[in-house]
Amino acid sequence: MELLNFILNLAALFLWLNWREARRMRKRSRYAQLLTRVTNTFSPWNWQHSSLLFLGLILSLRALLYLQLAQIIDWIPVLNAGPVSLPFRADYYFRLAIYSFLDFFWFFLSAYSIFLLLSALNEKKADTNPILKFIRSELGFLERWPASLKITVPFLIAFLFWFALSALLTELGIVPNLQSHSLRAQFSLILALSLLFAWRLFLLALFALDFVQNHVYLGRSPLWEFIHHTSRTLLQPVRVLPTKVQGIDFAPLLGIVFTLALTALGQRLLLAWYSRLQF
C-alpha cells in the first residue's frame, strides 16, 4: 500500500507540474494566449485546467479505493511525518479523503522543499543546466529570494498549516487533545521540523550517485553535472578532512554517514520532545 500511495502521490505531483508548465508556455506565447481565448469562447470546457481536475480526481478516487481495500486487507492509513504518525480511520470516506489530500500536501511540500534546497545550493551557478533551469522556473518568484529564506520558508508553511489544522485533527480524534495554544504550537513545530526527513532519502541518493559517477564513467550528461556540483557544494565542510585516499574520493560516503547520523539524532530528539508534551 505504501508503494501504491507513493505512485499516486507522484502522479498527482506530475499533474501539478504539467499544469504549471502549461501556464508558463501560454505566458511565453501570444499566439497560444489568443488560441486559448478562442477555444474558451466556443467551448464551455476550459482545457487549460484539466491537469488540476485530474489531480483532484486522483486524490478523491484514491480515498474511495482505500475505503474498499481497507475492508479487504485490514489496512489502517497512516500519515508518517518523521517521529509522529497520524492514523486515520479507514471506515469513513470523509476521513480517508482528508488523509488523501493531507498526504499529498505533505508529499508536495516535501518535493518543493527539495526544489528550494537545490536552488539555494546552486544560487551562484549560471542558468545553463536544464535541470537547474527547470527548478528555477518552477519556483517562480521564490527563486528571487535569499538562500536562507528559501530553506526556511517550507518549514514556516508547514508550521502554519499544521497549526491551522490542529483543532480539526483534534476534533476528529486523529491527534491527541491539544488543549492550549502552546501545545498546538509545539505539536505543529515538531511536524514542521519533520520535513527535514524528506531530505534524507534525496541526500543519500545524491551522495551515492556522486560517488559512483566520480569513479565510473557514465558519459556526459546535464544530470551528472548537476549532481556533482550540488554534492560538492554540500560537502564543502567535509573537504577540510583528507577525504582522498589513493585517488578515491570518500567525501560522498562521509556525506552518507553524516546524513544517516544527523537524521537519526534529529528523529530521537523530536520523538523525545513529542513524548514530553502533556496532552
Please state the three-class secondary structure of 148-168 as a single string: HHHHHHHHHHHHHHHHHHHHH
Lowest mean pLDDT, pick from 36-40, 85-89, 169-173: 36-40
| Residue-wise pLDDT tens digits, 205-242 | 999 999 998 888 777 888 888 998 898 889 888 877 77
Question: Distances from the Cα of 120 to the Cαs of 132, 133, 247, 251, 260, in angstroms?
Answer: 11, 13, 30, 21, 22
Question: Cell 508548465 sits at which residue?
Answer: 21
Res. 19 pLDDT band, cuts 50 70 90: confident
- Region of 208 (left: φ > 0; alpha: ψ -120 to 50; beta: rest) is alpha
Asked if 99 contacts 63 with a C-beta cutoff of 8 angstroms, the reply is yes
| Residue-wise pLDDT tens digits, 117-167 | 999 988 887 778 888 888 988 888 888 899 999 999 999 999 999 999 888
Question: What residue spans define the domains of the chain?
Answer: 1-75, 76-276
Per-residue DSSP letter, 108: H
Q: What is the pTM of this model?
A: 0.85
Q: How many alpha carbons lie under 13 Å from residue 112 in its C-beta half-sphere?
A: 23
Q: What percent of the chain has pLDDT over 90?
A: 28
More confident residue, 143 or 177: 143
Euclidean distance between CA atoms 109 and 94, whole angstroms: 22
Euclidean distance between CA atoms 62 and 8, whole angstroms: 8
More confident residue, 20 or 30: 20
Question: How large is the average pLDDT for residues 156-181?
Answer: 85
With vertex at residue 35, the alpha carbon angle to CA 32 and CA 38, rounded to the nearest 5 degrees, is 155
Question: How large is the average pLDDT for residues 179-187?
Answer: 85
Average pLDDT over the chain, rounded to an integer? 84
Task: Identify the pLDDT of residue 72.
Answer: 83
C-alpha cell at 70: 481497507
Task: Identify the pLDDT of residue 127.
Answer: 74
Euclidean distance between CA atoms 138 and 108, whole angstroms: 13
Res. 27 pLDDT band, cuts 50 70 90: low
Asked if 91 contacts 70 with a C-beta cutoff of 8 angstroms, the reply is yes
With vertex at residue 153, the alpha carbon angle to CA 147 and CA 157, rounded to the nearest 5 degrees, is 170
For 188, residues 6+ apart whose C-beta sits below 8 A from its C-beta are 158, 159, 160, 162, 163, 166
How do 244-245 and 248-249 pair as beta strands? antiparallel
Cα-Cα-Cα-Cα dihedral sign, residues 260, 261, 264, 270: negative
With vertex at residue 252, the alpha carbon angle to CA 226 and CA 258, rounded to the nearest 5 degrees, is 120
For 196, residues 6+ apart whose C-beta sits below 8 A from its C-beta are 82, 263, 266
Asked if 251 contacts 243 with a C-beta cutoff of 8 angstroms, the reply is yes
CA-wise closest residue to 48 among 58, 38, 61? 38
